[in-house]
Amino acid sequence: MAEHDEALTIRPGLVVAGSELDERFTTSGGPGGQHANRSRTRVELRIDLRRCTTFDDHQRSLLVERFGTEIRVVVDDERSQMRNRALARERLAARIRGALVPQRTRTATRATRASQRRRLDAKGRRSELKQQRRRPTDQD
């Protein structure tokens, strides 16, 4: 378990202190020979929302509602620990940014008269096409 002093910038004015981030490095799984088996390039980056002082109560409640009490990102895309670390930090910041964007409420609207007419016309054409495919009856 490694804690770094590098701050994580979510957006201007919102920065998570490096001491509030928990960073772990482990070996990547799968094939790859000696490099994959010995190099600790896989990065796991966590932030515990219960003890994080960066967010106000409203922001914290939005994040907890979305992710639970901990946000966790795991990256093992690259061979380089530095690159995986940078990717993990980018992804964590993007997840937090996305969760803090206010969700627009949907406004109920009605279909226009023209769109209703188009829909019924299309249904009629489809019905007519299917009627033509049927086997003729004795009365036809």
Q: Cβ-count burial of 51 within 10 angstroms (0-12 exposed, 13-18 middle, 19+ buried)? A: exposed
**Domains, the chain, ranges and CATH?**
8-100 (3.30.160.20)
Both structure tokens of 70: 């901990």
On the CB side of 42, CA atoms within 13 Å amount to 13
Instruction: Give 10-residue mean pLDDT values along the chain (140 residues).
Output: 71 90 86 72 92 90 91 90 93 93 90 96 96 84
